[in-house]
Structure 1
Amino acid sequence: MSSVKENCQEIERKLGLSLKKVNRERSSVQVIAVTKSVSSEQAIAVIEEGYTHLAENRPEGLEAKLEELNDLQLVWHYIGNLQTRKVKKVINKIDYFHALDRLALAEEIEKRAQKRISCFVQVNVTGEVSKSGVSPDELDEFISNLSKYSKIKVVGLMTMAPLNAEETVVRTAFAHLRGLQQTIQEKSFSHAPCTELSMGMSKDYTIAAEEGATFIRIGTSFFE
């Protein structure tokens, strides 16, 4: 088992190679350390390597980490499905929400949020039945409908590539999301600047970087 420090060096090496391929700067990508399945001690090891964006996917996990790491200057992301009834436990503790996929959820955020929340709309680009997300065909209408919610700012789009798929399939999914993001951005909605792309995880972050990701969510690769 590698140390967290060694894992960070390997992530940066691979990321650097991918970005160089497409003439992007390292500063154009924000790496989010997904700490949902590790202890606060392990999270601190990653923070000590310079990563200050952390993500959780359960209200209880978020609460525990916030309590244990409360003296550190961190940016918090909530990733994964959020049940409407749990919005109140999460929404005022985070800086970014990565899985806005239905109007009922937007309504609850509007009701509970005490500030404007930076949200990514989750898009199911591959049409997998097992995945959440707005279909590409419904994306324009969905984002237009979000204009009525003053507490929601659509900063970008998010997707997850099919698990264990071939590289061409993953690359196509990410390229599709990038095209959708650019289309929304060109509409210049005040509530949806849509400048960001949240895509790529431990198995496919190098491909995501090559396809324009600006936020990458890495968990396993930090801690294995």
Structure 2
Amino acid sequence: MLHWLRTNLEQIRRNINEAAYKSGRKPEDIKLIAVSKTVPMETIKAAWEMGVTDFGENRVQELTEKFNELPEAKWHLIGHLQKNKVKYIVDKVVLIHSLDSYPLAEEINKRAVARGKCLDVLIQVNVAREPTKFGLDLSEVDDFINAVKDLPGLAVKGLMTIAPFVGDPEAVRPVFRELKKKFDALKTMEIPSAEMKYLSMGMSNDYRIAIEEGANLVRIGTRIFGERKK
């Protein structure tokens, strides 16, 4: 059943292993997040049975529906998060990858505190300054961390970026390198409210380059599940 899925996963794991060794790390240091947007539950459950533990969703409604069918999996919100949708995922996600504004941080904090929780979040950084993408400028990250440090309902656990989609993945290596540099700088500062644990970089097109440049979370969809249905 779904032999193509097993083949895809085996190839990705081999690639992750090679990139990890190339960057001087162990394969187990890299976490694969299977991006399951528009993917049917039977396929997601098959991936789960093949050892995938973490799934990433872009939309809140789709995440909540899938969470209800597979609550034992670890669910990540990787897409842009609107303030009015936070309340639906507070008790469902292990990590929000896309914190990109102070008002959103306040809303996450409010909803998490009301549930007696502290939510792990990543700050989304628009390293390439693409006008069509969300995220802070690199120069804003330090001040943002300082601004959210007293919000008890969220814990900054690292940084995330989406690199420009280009034909040659090598072209985005500098983007990943820049974010890793910021990640390392923040790590050496040992800020109690901003533990630099996760660096979420790399998707189907460029995940090997991202790992070579220091990513420890990669978000892969098409290479696992095939082209998305429109």
Q: Secondary structure at the match of 2:147?
A: helix
Asked if 1:223 corresponds to 2:225, the answer is: yes
* 2:61 aligned partner, one-letter code: E
When normalised by structure 1's length, the TM-score is 0.95
Which position in structure 1 is the counterpart of 2:60? 59
Q: Percent identity?
A: 39
Partners of 1:223 and 1:164 in 2: CA distance: 21
**1:93 shift after superposition:** 1.2
Asked if 1:13 corresponds to 2:5, the answer is: no
Partners of 2:90 and 2:167 in 1: CA distance: 33
Q: Determine if contact 1:46/1:222 at 8 Å carries over to the other structure.
A: no
Which position in structure 2 is the counterpart of 1:74? 73
Which position in structure 2 is the counterpart of 1:44? 45
Q: Provide the alpha-carbon RMSD of the alignment.
A: 1.4
Partners of 1:146 and 1:135 in 2: CA distance: 16
Alignment of 1:127-206 (within 5 A): 127-164=129-166, 166-206=168-208
Q: Determine if contact 2:20/2:30 at 8 Å carries over to the other structure.
A: no
Asked if 1:117 corresponds to 2:119, the answer is: yes
Structure 1 unpaired stretches of 5+: none
**1:46 shift after superposition:** 1.0
Partners of 2:89 and 2:133 in 1: CA distance: 22
When normalised by structure 2's length, the TM-score is 0.93
Q: Determine if contact 1:202/1:221 at 8 Å carries over to the other structure.
A: yes
Structure 2 unpaired stretches of 5+: none
Which position in structure 1 is the counterpart of 2:36? 35
Which position in structure 2 is the counterpart of 1:22? 23
* 1:139 aligned partner, one-letter code: V
* 1:93 aligned partner, one-letter code: K
Q: Secondary structure at the match of 2:146?
A: helix
**1:23 shift after superposition:** 2.4
**1:2 shift after superposition:** 6.6
Q: Secondary structure at the match of 1:148?
A: coil
Q: Determine if contact 2:169/2:205 at 8 Å carries over to the other structure.
A: no
Q: Secondary structure at the match of 2:196?
A: coil
